[in-house]
């Protein structure tokens, strides 16, 4: 009896999360798959994908998504690492740092986009401040469609503000798992802050960096609300195009194809990270 219970227990414990995943993730994926690959008559075809790729905004959306990813992810990793190391240094007031740094995590991405919109817009906070300081005469049109670099920069700032905290939390947790001895030994044997970070902290932090990179990159492929709030469709991105296909163009099939493309890219990125940042068995602390 006891034996039976024990062997059934793991499955019992797994059941809720499996059911949850099946209902809310797997089922929609299946549905999206059918939507993307099935024509109205029920045959399997790549028509939706062809339609998606032939759209004028598509190439731009792909380019923008990757540009944003390549700008934001490294920026966030560096920022988050600096913040995590600052907290880990156990300076006075470190908990305050942690709370302040973590505030953006509590804000939804659309709200974050709107916050930054109110800052960057023509009559926003930024322009008011600059004008009252007398640094500019005319308000800067940062978010104008004639100023794509301005929009891009605003999105980068807003996205970094919004999603750096999650990376930081992962890295802080990772740092706390590393025994202090290693840092002490490094310092004692003559490594200054930079060398210590490069030769000891980063290598030992690799598992956490891997997690953070995967999460951040997946988020970056899904970047949508912040861009939408700040730029509308002036700066098309993949997730935004999926939304447009669904609601504006009323074409669920192409929207699903788009979602499938994002899923594929995410999987690919995850595999790359897992490979490149792999921590070999023998390098693990025992």
* Interacting residue ranges for other proteins, rule: CB under 8 A: 179, 181-182, 184-192, 195, 199-200, 203-204, 206, 281-286
DSSP labels, 188-248: HTT--HHHHIIIIIHHHTHHHHHHHHHHHHHHHHT--HHHHHHHTTSS--HHHHHHHHHHT
User: Closer to other proteins at the Cβ: 26 or 177?
Assistant: 177
CA 197 to chain centre: 24
User: Closer to other proteins at the Cβ: 186 or 259?
Assistant: 186
User: Closer to other proteins at the Cβ: 45 or 202?
Assistant: 202
How is residue 82 written in tokens? 């600096």
How is residue 237 written in tokens? 């991105």
In the bound complex, what is the minimum distance in angstroms from residue 201's beta carbon to other proteins?
11
Q: What's the maximum distance between 2 C-alpha atoms anywhere in the chain?
A: 82
User: Closer to other proteins at the Cβ: 13 or 285?
Assistant: 285
SS3 label, residue 38: strand
- Is 162 in contact with 50 (CB distance < 8 Å)? no
In the bound complex, what is the minimum distance in angstroms from residue 189's beta carbon to other proteins?
4
User: Closer to other proteins at the Cβ: 196 or 216?
Assistant: 196
In the bound complex, what is the minimum distance in angstroms from residue 202's beta carbon to other proteins?
10
In the bound complex, what is the minimum distance in angstroms from residue 210's beta carbon to other proteins?
14
- Is 171 in contact with 208 (CB distance < 8 Å)? yes
In the bound complex, what is the minimum distance in angstroms from residue 215's beta carbon to other proteins?
23
């Amino acid at each position: 009896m006891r034996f039976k219970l024990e062997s059934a227990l793991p499955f019992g414990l797994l059941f809720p999360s499996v059911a949850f995943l099946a209902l809310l993730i797997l089922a929609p994926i299946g549905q999206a798959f059918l939507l993307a690959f099935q024509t109205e008559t029920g045959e399997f075809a790549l028509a939706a994908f062809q339609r998606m790729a032939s759209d004028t905004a598509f190439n731009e959306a792909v380019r923008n998504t990757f540009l944003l990813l390549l700008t934001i992810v490294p920026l966030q990793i560096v920022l988050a690492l600096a913040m995590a190391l600052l907290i880990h240094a156990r300076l006075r007031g470190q908990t305050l740092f942690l709370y302040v740094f973590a505030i953006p995590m509590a804000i939804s991405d659309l709200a974050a986009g709107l916050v930054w919109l109110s800052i960057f817009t023509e009559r926003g906070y930024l322009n008011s401040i600059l004008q009252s300081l007398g640094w500019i005469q005319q308000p800067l049109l940062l978010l104008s469609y004639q100023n794509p670099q301005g929009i891009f920069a605003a999105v980068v700032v807003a996205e970094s503000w919004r999603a750096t905290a999650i990376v930081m939390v992962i890295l802080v947790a990772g740092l706390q798992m590393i025994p202090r001895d290693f840092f002490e030994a490094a310092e004692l044997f003559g490594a200054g802050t930079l060398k210590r970070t490069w030769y000891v902290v980063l290598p030992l932090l690799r598992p956490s960096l891997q997690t953070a990179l995967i999460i951040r990159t997946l988020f970056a492929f899904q970047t949508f609300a912040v861009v939408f709030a700040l730029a509308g469709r002036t700066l098309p991105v993949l997730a935004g195009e999926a939304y447009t296909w669904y609601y504006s163009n009323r074409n669920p099939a192409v929207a699903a194809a788009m979602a499938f493309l994002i899923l594929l890219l995410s999987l690919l990125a995850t595999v790359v990270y897992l490979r490149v940042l792999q921590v070999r068995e023998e390098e693990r602390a025992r």
